Structure 1
Amino acid sequence: MLHFKDIITPVDFKVTEETTLKEAITLMHQKKWSLLPVTDASGQPVGVFTRSSLQQMVLEETPLPTSIKNYIKRQVEKISVNTPYEKIEELVKESKVGTGVVVDQQNRVVGILTKTDMVMSLLHTSQELQLIKKLKRTLETAIDHAFDGIVMTDEKKVITMVSPPLLELYNLSEDAVLNKQATSVLPQLELEKVYESETAEVSGFLEINGIKYIVHRIPILEDGKVIGALGKVVFRQLNEVSELFNKLQKAENKANFYHQQYQKSETARYTWEHIFSTDPFMEKLKKSGAKAAKGRSTVLIRGESGTGKELFAHAIHHSSARSSGKFVVVNCAAIPEDLLESEFFGYEEGAFTGAKQKGKLGKFDLANGGTLFLDEIGDMSLTLQAKLLRVLQEREFYRVGGNAKIKVDVRIIAATNRNLEEMVKESLFREDLYYRLNVISLHIPPLRDRPCDIDHLISRFMIEFNQILGTSITGIEDQAKEVMFNYEWPGNVRELRNVMERAMTFSEDGKIKYEDLPDYLIKLIPVKESALHVSMVENAELEAIKKALVQVHGNKVQAARLLGISRSGLYEKIKKYKLPT
């Protein structure tokens, strides 16, 4: 809204009765004014010195040092700076004087108002009315189509409004988006299409951070011309596009089926890119593993349960010269001891009661030319350890119940979470096998020793489970994050992954909260009571501000009065809670 004080020309000098003709000429020339307000010592008006007064003094050949006192016009048309804009408009229309003197509440001169000032202000007002008209139509369109994320652009494709859910989805700040070209900051929305087509349209399914969404592109029209566009990003509920969703679901089901069939085949499924970490030691470890993959030496991977030993084994095979061969996994702790030998080496026909008529190939046969991954090798019996040692040394073995030597070319990658050195001392693990396996050793540190990875893994799992669970989780509240950062994670990455899956399943409003975490985690690492209290107070305060603003239809002055706080205090809280202004 334009105010009177915004259109006046301020007076930044003082002209008195003692001002000389020379000084008056200089001022009128510099300012290009046809009138100079004359004041007394306190700044109150006593008259005006006009261009006609100046001409009279010149015609009379008045010397330049002469004061203007006798040529001042004592009748002054004064206008208060607090005069309503509408009255000023009427005054200018009716006044025969081209310039008026503007005074403040103490009757001191603060400026002048010319008809030129008024004409320019009327032009500005007209432009404002046009802008308001466009904005009104834009907002009406937004209300009619409001849903999840909203972004609006003007006729130049510049973003004029964006809603918090949309910023949250794309992890952008308001400053990074407002008054920027939509094609540069949100190119994926492709809002420019409707400027050409002048027709609303719906995109196919898009995806960001594992969250599927669609975009409604709606042109804003005025007199048959596109004056802007509205982008409606739907990502929390997709009822309006259930048909598209069903088609996608069928396609995903088919893809999952083929993916499961692929997983059943004996091949490495993970690469170094699947091992998520920002920890410098982990990055160094991955580089060491990649170097080890180039050779054929046995690799022993050590670390606590859940640290990702199997992922390292997959990645080593995948980046080795044997990547085209089989990657066969044997969990030494999961197979009964009496069956472990036949699983390793296979058996001949009729080798024992219940044996298949044609016999069976063992894991070494299947892994020939590829890699055999022996997980939990510390749980292998001493008898089988001896036979494994022979295979590693001689590269040959006998099937159970057979007499023929079977030549084999297999690379061994072993993994354990047990202390093999202690087991060797206690005669629970063969020393010669230990040295045969421990050619290249990689020790994966537990998650508690690389806390910087917790935040990184949370973000990665959030993307993964948004895809798997069909959720739209965009972040974690501070209380929940505090618990997760202070927990020791005895189950390491595997446990963190399980906790994230559980929390994202239970979350209801787009962010993981303290209460979405498992009970055992909350009991072990309770958030400080004061922190919870602060959160409750802030939530209550935020809701009160929202209700007050709704009640007074967005009027900040009335809302502040209703809440019992100052207007500046209300603006600070609006900024704190990032509410729309």
Structure 2
Amino acid sequence: MIHRIGVIAVIQLREIMTPVTDYLSQSSTLEQAITIMKRKKWNIVPATDQDGRLLGVFTRSILYQMVLAGQPLHTPIHPFMKTDVVAFSVDTPYDIIEKVVENSNVGSGVVLDGEQRPIGLITSIDIARTLLRTSYSLREQLEAILATSQLGAVMTDEQNQVIFVNARFCDMLGCAEKQIIGRNITDVIPDIHTTEVQEMEQEVHKRIVVGNYRTIVRLSKYKTVKGQEGFIALFQNISEVERMAEELESVKRWKSMLQTVIDKAYDGIVMINQQGRISFVSPSLIELFELDESQTIHQPIDGVLPQLGLTRVVKSGLADISDFMEVNGIQYIVHRIPVLQDQHVVGAIGKIMFRQLQEVRERFKRFDRHEWKEGVARQQRRQAESSRFTFDEIITSDYQMEKLVRSVSKAAKGRSTILIRGESGTGKELFAHAIHSISPREEKPFVTVNCAAIPEHLLESEFFGYEEGAFTGAKHKGKVGKFDLAHGGTLFLDEVGDMSLPLQAKLLRVLQEGEFYRVGGTDRIHVDVRIISATNRPLEDMVEKGTFREDLFYRLNVISFEIPPLRLRKGDILLLCELFIKDLNKSNGTSVTSIDPEAQCVMLGYEWLGNVRELRNVLERAMVFAESGKIQLDDLPDYVLKKTSLPNNQQHPVLQQNLLNQAEQDTIQIALQKTNGNKSQAARLLGISRSVLYEKLKKYQISCL
């Protein structure tokens, strides 16, 4: 039966009620009730009929009774629902509400609109807060309500000094009332900060821990008898319901996941312990080998399934995959995986793949054919002398690299000669390809000459070609040079700093006049070629020493870019690793999915003098040795580990943070060196504000130059 109170229009009730947007119905289950209570933090949830009218409520007490009785989550709540409900019309005067609350031990009521539909809840928290704000003289009534509702309550004066606490809050905090009265509220409850109390304009809802209880506190202001502002804090214990709901959800989720993996997976699974005895076997494997489960558990694997060869994995600690085997005309393979604990083998898992292997074979055949076609296409593209990379393949999250890519992209669309500088392995050739790919010459040839890889006596003929009989061993019909091949397109001169002085002079003439003579030839050859050059050598120093022509340097250095080394953009290390793992899995047939956090920590701390090229090589080597699908510390080369502090499980988070801090500190110092100590320029170079830079200078105690 639902009690209804008379209708008199006032507005106070709408202001103090908790709006209701979620409802239960006759068909709702225990699980749905728990979900709403956990999300909304309500003690009661209204239940409505098909027309949205109030039928009753589901309370926290009913929830406890159903859980203690062992009711399943799918149990309908209708038989347990409470129909004897205190309900208020939305325009009920507040004095009537006070009387009802005074004469009732019910902690919550339902607010109804004119159509008898629930629109809100008036809870003990709302009532308690309103009573406190209305009059301090209602203290006895307030304490009775709070005791019934199990709320903890604290009231302060205008100086934030505690003037009232109830017994429930003292129990939560584990202190006597006399130990709390007169203290500042922020001293009693450290999670409530002074600034939060002073600057609060409206009520604050937050989760805090009081003693051993997890609670939701409602912190609000009220007018004191002096006309100033004090504070009321009401604490609702949510530990029990939260813990119960979390445990129920966790058990349900894990049970569903494990049941699906074990019963529905295509793979048969068997697990043995260190003694070689079976500790688990999946239903699909029992079905495949026609076993009796009762006669397999705790039995030696070599006596039940010796053909799987799992005991040798326990001895060797090395994962491997068997050849194709057969049982009852069904082919299968076994993936043998050691189980490690504290670096010791404590057992092994056998994953048996036997379903749809023929389809897998066919798919691999199609994949191989596709790869072969792609390889042929790539070879044809190489033979066509075209660029193979674009700016989309330059992966970075570093501000300076992003800025560099934008600048190079602008320069690529012009005709000017470009000089790309940077340490070995930073990706100079990648940038050269990308420049050509978006230039007006993208449809024309892109020709590469590695000036350091071609013998000195052959460089000139490689550049300019030669006529028939130009020298001993020359081809009968002569040969066209790289300039001929690049006509109308781009010629990329890699390691340009390694050219000899005589060849530098001839290259300068081509750049100035747009023409050259073939070796042994007398005819002028006119060409239209854009030059992109790259070097890791200090050309300015070479000019001063006379090993590089000054006029050629200025011809090549029309637009110059320098690619920062990997150690100055360590944020890119793990980003590049993700890309390389995907590529190397395809090319090498590995199945690595990620890098262990400890290995990541070491990679972030390593200097990478070989830059991106070294990173890829180290990653490829580690992926070959990775056995668990994840790159571990032991998979990294010894020379990397020796040059980096080795973390352990306890130190890892701290060490990783220290390495990141050191990388940030080094980057800031380099920026200050490049800007001669100018903080504004250094901040712009780093892509941060001046205020942030000042904070970091103070944090790392860096003094300006």
Q: TM-score, normalised by structure 1?
A: 0.53
> Could you tell me which amino acid in structure 2 is paired with residue 252 of structure 1?
E
Who is 2:526 aligned against? 407
Q: Secondary structure, in 3 states, of the residue corresponding to 1:263?
A: helix
Who is 1:467 aligned against? 586
Q: Distance in 1 between matches of 2:495 and 2:634?
A: 36
Equivalent residues in 2 for 1:545-564 (5 A)?
none
> Could you tell me which amino acid in structure 2 is paired with residue 302 of structure 1?
R
> Could you tell me which amino acid in structure 1 is paired with residue 68 of structure 2?
H
Who is 1:383 aligned against? 502
Q: 1:139/1:461 Cα in 2 relative to 1: closer, same or farther (>3 Å)?
A: closer
Q: Secondary structure, in 3 states, of the residue corresponding to 1:372?
A: strand
Count of aligned pairs between the two proteins: 340
Equivalent residues in 2 for 1:486-501 (5 A)?
486-501=605-620
Shift of 1:136: 9.4
Q: Does 1:479 align with 2:598?
A: yes
Q: Does 277-286 or 408-417 show the bigger shift?
A: 277-286
Equivalent residues in 2 for 1:196-275 (5 A)?
239=357, 241-275=360-394
> Could you tell me which amino acid in structure 2 is paired with residue 406 of structure 1?
I
Shift of 1:254: 3.0
Q: Distance in 1 between matches of 2:433 and 2:107?
A: 83
Q: Secondary structure, in 3 states, of the residue corresponding to 2:478?
A: coil
Q: Distance in 1 between matches of 2:494 and 2:593?
A: 36
Who is 1:292 aligned against? 411
Q: Secondary structure, in 3 states, of the residue corresponding to 2:375?
A: helix
Who is 1:505 aligned against? 624
Q: Secondary structure, in 3 states, of the residue corresponding to 2:534?
A: strand
Q: Distance in 2 between matches of 1:138 and 1:479?
A: 29
Q: Secondary structure, in 3 states, of the residue corresponding to 1:378?
A: helix
Q: 1:372/1:145 Cα in 2 relative to 1: closer, same or farther (>3 Å)?
A: same
> Could you tell me which amino acid in structure 2 is paired with residue 504 of structure 1?
M
Any conservation in 2 of the 1:479–1:532 contact (CA below 8 Å)? no
Q: Secondary structure, in 3 states, of the residue corresponding to 1:374?
A: strand
Q: Distance in 2 between matches of 1:353 and 1:329?
A: 26
Who is 2:68 aligned against? 3
Q: Secondary structure, in 3 states, of the residue corresponding to 2:447?
A: strand
Any conservation in 2 of the 1:272–1:315 contact (CA below 8 Å)? yes
Q: 1:416/1:507 Cα in 2 relative to 1: closer, same or farther (>3 Å)?
A: same
Shift of 1:243: 3.0
> Could you tell me which amino acid in structure 2 is paired with residue 3 of structure 1?
L
Q: 1:251/1:5 Cα in 2 relative to 1: closer, same or farther (>3 Å)?
A: closer
Q: 1:143/1:429 Cα in 2 relative to 1: closer, same or farther (>3 Å)?
A: same
Any conservation in 1 of the 2:598–2:652 contact (CA below 8 Å)? no
Equivalent residues in 2 for 1:78-477 (5 A)?
142-146=261-265, 239=357, 241-477=360-596
> Could you tell me which amino acid in structure 2 is paired with residue 373 of structure 1?
F
> Could you tell me which amino acid in structure 1 is paired with residue 465 of structure 2?
G
Shift of 1:403: 0.8
Q: Does 1:523 align with 2:642?
A: yes
CA RMSD of aligned residues (A): 3.8
Q: Distance in 2 between matches of 1:534 and 1:411?
A: 50
> Could you tell me which amino acid in structure 1 is paired with residue 429 of structure 2?
E
Write the deviation string for residues 532-571 of structure 1: whole angstroms up to 9, x where unpaired.
Answer: 8999xxxxxxxxxxxxxxxxxxxxxxxxxxxxxxxxxxxx
Q: Distance in 1 between matches of 2:617 and 2:474?
A: 39
> Could you tell me which amino acid in structure 1 is paired with residue 381 of structure 2?
Y
Who is 1:126 aligned against? none
Q: 1:238/1:371 Cα in 2 relative to 1: closer, same or farther (>3 Å)?
A: farther
Shift of 1:513: 0.6
> Could you tell me which amino acid in structure 2 is paired with residue 462 of structure 1?
I
Structure 1: gaps (5+ residues): 13-21, 32-131, 150-233, 536-581
Shift of 1:334: 0.5
Q: Distance in 1 between matches of 2:105 and 2:617?
A: 81
Write the deviation string for residues 500-549 of structure 1: whole angstroms up to 9, x where unpaired.
Answer: 111122111121110111121112214135648999xxxxxxxxxxxxxx
Any conservation in 2 of the 1:348–1:359 contact (CA below 8 Å)? yes
Write the deviation string for residues 352-378 of structure 1: whole angstroms up to 9, x where unpaired.
Answer: 111111111010000000000000000
Q: Does 341-350 or 470-479 show the bigger shift?
A: 470-479
Q: 1:2/1:411 Cα in 2 relative to 1: closer, same or farther (>3 Å)?
A: same
Q: Secondary structure, in 3 states, of the residue corresponding to 2:492?
A: strand
> Could you tell me which amino acid in structure 2 is paired with residue 496 of structure 1?
L
Q: Secondary structure, in 3 states, of the residue corresponding to 2:488?
A: coil
Q: 1:509/1:385 Cα in 2 relative to 1: closer, same or farther (>3 Å)?
A: same
Q: Secondary structure, in 3 states, of the residue corresponding to 1:300?
A: strand
Shift of 1:430: 0.4
Any conservation in 2 of the 1:348–1:360 contact (CA below 8 Å)? yes
Q: Distance in 2 between matches of 1:449 and 1:29?
A: 66
Q: 1:439/1:10 Cα in 2 relative to 1: closer, same or farther (>3 Å)?
A: same
Q: Distance in 1 between matches of 2:578 and 2:651?
A: 24
Q: Distance in 2 between matches of 1:532 and 1:290?
A: 43
Q: 1:238/1:328 Cα in 2 relative to 1: closer, same or farther (>3 Å)?
A: farther
Write the deviation string for residues 311-350 of structure 1: whole angstroms up to 9, x where unpaired.
Answer: 1110111110011110000000011111100110111111
Q: Give the structure with higher Rg (CA).
A: 1
Any conservation in 1 of the 2:591–2:629 contact (CA below 8 Å)? yes
Any conservation in 2 of the 1:305–1:492 contact (CA below 8 Å)? yes
Q: Distance in 2 between matches of 1:359 and 1:375?
A: 25
Q: Secondary structure, in 3 states, of the residue corresponding to 2:519?
A: coil
Q: Distance in 1 between matches of 2:374 and 2:443?
A: 23
Who is 1:108 aligned against? none
> Could you tell me which amino acid in structure 1 is paired with residue 582 of structure 2?
I
Any conservation in 1 of the 2:601–2:652 contact (CA below 8 Å)? no
Q: Distance in 1 between matches of 2:257 and 2:604?
A: 44
Q: Secondary structure, in 3 states, of the residue corresponding to 1:357?
A: coil
Q: Distance in 2 between matches of 1:410 and 1:300?
A: 15
> Could you tell me which amino acid in structure 1 is paired with residue 441 of structure 2?
R
Q: Distance in 2 between matches of 1:29 and 1:478?
A: 54
> Could you tell me which amino acid in structure 1 is paired with residue 548 of structure 2?
F
Q: Secondary structure, in 3 states, of the residue corresponding to 1:525?
A: coil
Q: 1:453/1:510 Cα in 2 relative to 1: closer, same or farther (>3 Å)?
A: same
Any conservation in 1 of the 2:494–2:533 contact (CA below 8 Å)? yes
State the structure with bigger RCO (CA 8 A, min sep 6), 1 or 2. Answer: 1
Any conservation in 2 of the 1:376–1:414 contact (CA below 8 Å)? yes
Write the deviation string for residues 408-444 of structure 1: whole angstroms up to 9, x where unpaired.
Answer: 1000000000000000011000001001110000100
Identical columns (%): 59
